[in-house]
Structure 1
């Protein structure tokens, strides 16, 4: 489209800020509305695989990500004592590095800086109160009383997406998988120069991920009851019990966790919106449309890919409806493949029964998936 658009992005997370940056750099008027009072983020890290770094390069943010994080290229598979069993080089997408670990707060800050530098504005402490799509635009009222008319409204508002509820009611509430993620930031061990995946049979897996020269995070997934919450004073002790089968670097990392306050616990849920991801000029993206389990480390990568393909589709198509149709036709198959394989890996690692379709997907495996996901999309 030759005419610049007015775009409202609902949600100031990784995908929403990336879209704001990309669209702002291309001359569109963008406002991000965020319910939180600031862009805080849980104090753990995130993996940026090569396909995510490719998007960061397109947004002009690659160097900032690498400066704030820890670039790596070898995935190490190890036994419970941390003894390497396989070292797997990670593939590159074009000129992007193979992978980067980065603290979530640092990523949130640099994405916000990138969006503002691109001309986008970020409005805090507000969400959508009402909206009406008349076919030519969307009239929006926010909870802070402000109003506006937009050519496009994008819901990058997470797995609990209020915008998804507005479009589809309670048809797509998050589905708890039966598993939860435990994470804690600790000092980086010198030998952890890339992701180290320590396996203790099918019962437990622990990941050590470098996120700066000084820091790494320890992550582990376990089956948990839906109503389980770690004790406010005992979370670190609970995590240590779950990882009792590990010695070596995992035990050394645990030894640095002396209190419960650093432990971050999150249930693993997923969402699959089977209806179209766009209704008129309103579109869902990222976790709002296709939240996955973390087993391919591709959740945030899928969100930023959504942002890049949406920006490209708005550039290449003549109308907003055409752009949204083109965007979804490219994004749905890839995002659903990531979701399906991620869930299959979770079930396999935890000894749960898999379907024949999942068994076929599992033949690709984690190393194979990395090679699939650096191909053009």
Structure 2
């Protein structure tokens, strides 16, 4: 461990930020989390925790809680647009936990917030950084709620629109819209949906069903959309039906249950690649703030929690904070950039978009091969 407990400010109380807060507080550091939202409930639908993410959950002591509120699964089912099963692909594991766990985002937020506070971290809701000065030996911060002080380290787990990234680099690394968007809606889980069911084909679209608890699943789909498009609040469910009209089988059955336009969650798929160092002095960017990817490997949150655990380990082993951050970035950047490149290549392949020679090489690995790469130690 570094010579004395550090005082750390985590800017952002999402999945990565709360994981880091727990990992650091469990190691004896003094951690505060500044979260702009007033509460942690409004976090969308659900996510997949692949095996590498579950490994992190084990390391911070919350694996059992995640599995209890989620839905563990082992096999990816691939269907054609009509719903005919083409393949059932067992997923690799890292350790003895399930290969994957679907989990509602609000449930995961509650698990991680409880873990962070139990470990000793403080979560400040409804606040963010208003002023920040790094003098080399520490960072003086003022929060919008009047709290703050001097910290040994400030970590930006503040998402794809990261204010801390703008503080370091201005608008140079603003999110890049990919031309595609994600439509999702939570539904009662069909008994036959015991793992992800993915349907793709010549429709230049993909739809999938993901179990996130014993009772719930979500229907997700990706389509090319104009950058300024937003669903009509009164007819979003009908707009989703129009886009999925060519799908049959389990996708059509799930779609028939979508009757409330307010239940449809729409999000543009954007990407961020900070090509300069992710750390400047004692301020560091992590997760989507540094390397947001498309969701095509279900690795966005997994990369964030890996970032968090490896950062905690690097600070424990490092002689000083800047040196530890350099070690952390050297370890994390190649893996996160590989996930980003592979995810973008899969998006292009599935939607019939032109790919580069480099992307064609990645696509030879495919989604099953990528899963095997990502269960290797990191």
Q: What is the aligned length? A: 377
Is 1:103 the counterpart of 2:107? The answer is no
Q: Please state if 1:239 is matched with 2:240.
A: yes
Corresponding residue SS for 1:67? helix
CA contact (8 A) 2:154 2:284 kept: yes
Q: What is aligned with 2:154?
A: 153
1:305-316 to 2 correspondence within 5 Å? 305-316=306-317
1:263 equivalent to 2:264? Answer yes
Match of 1:366 in 2: 367
Question: Which residues of 2 match residues 286-301 of structure 1 at below 5 A?
Answer: 286-301=287-302
Per-residue deviation, 1:81: 2.9
Q: Structure 1 stretches (4+) deviating beyond 6 angstroms? A: none
Q: Alignment partner of 2:191: what SS?
A: coil
| Distance apart, 1:41 and its partner CA | 2.8
Are 1:277 and 2:294 matched, yes or no? Answer: no
Q: Where in structure 2 are the equivalents of 1:69-108 lying within 5 Å?
A: 69-108=70-109
Deviations 1:236-281, CA, capped at 9 Å, x for gaps:
0000110011112111111111110100000000000000000000
Question: Does the alignment pair 1:345 with 2:346?
Answer: yes
Deviation at 1:335, TM superposition (A): 0.2
Whole-angstrom distance in 2 between the partners of 1:9 and 1:312: 16
Structure 2: runs of 5+ lacking an equivalent? none
- Secondary structure of residue in 2 paired with 1:87: strand
Cα distance in 1 between the residues matched to 2:4 and 2:326: 19
User: Could you tell me whether the CA contact under 8 Å between 1:42 and 1:104 is conserved in 2?
Assistant: yes
8 Å CA contact 1:2–1:315 kept in 2: the answer is no
TM-score, normalised by the number of residues in structure 2:
0.98
For residues 36 and 149 of structure 1, the distance between their equivalents in structure 2, rounded to whole angstroms, comes to: 23
Distance 1:131 1:46 in 2: 33
Residue 61 of structure 1 is matched in structure 2 by 62
Report the CA distance between 1:92 and its aligned residue: 0.6
**Corresponding residue for residue 145 of structure 2:** 144
- How far does the alpha carbon of each residue in 1:90-148 deviate from its partner, in whole angstroms, 9 at most, with x for none? 10112332100000110111110010011000001111011111111101011112231
Matches within 5 A, 1:209-224: 209-224=210-225
Cα distance between partner residues in 2 of 1:20 and 1:226? 35
Matched residue SS, 2:319: coil
| Alignment correspondent of 1:326 | 327
Q: CA deviation at 1:199?
A: 1.6
- 1:34–1:122: 8 Å Cα contact kept in structure 2? yes
Structure 2 counterpart of 1:205: 206
Q: Does 1:172 align with 2:173?
A: yes
- Can you give the 5+ residue segments of structure 1 that lack an aligned partner in the other structure? none
Residue 230 of structure 1: aligned partner: 231
Residues 200 and 245, structure 1, Cα contact 8 Å, conserved in 2: no
Shift of 1:9: 0.1
User: What TM-score results when the alignment is normalised by the length of structure 1?
Assistant: 0.99
Whole-angstrom distance in 1 between the partners of 2:203 and 2:122? 47
- How far off is 1:202 after superposition? 4.8
How far apart are the structure 2 equivalents of 1:22 and 1:273?
A: 25
Alpha-carbon contact 1:43-1:185 (below 8 Å) kept: no
Shift of 1:40: 2.2
Which residue number in structure 2 is paired with residue 303 of structure 1? 304
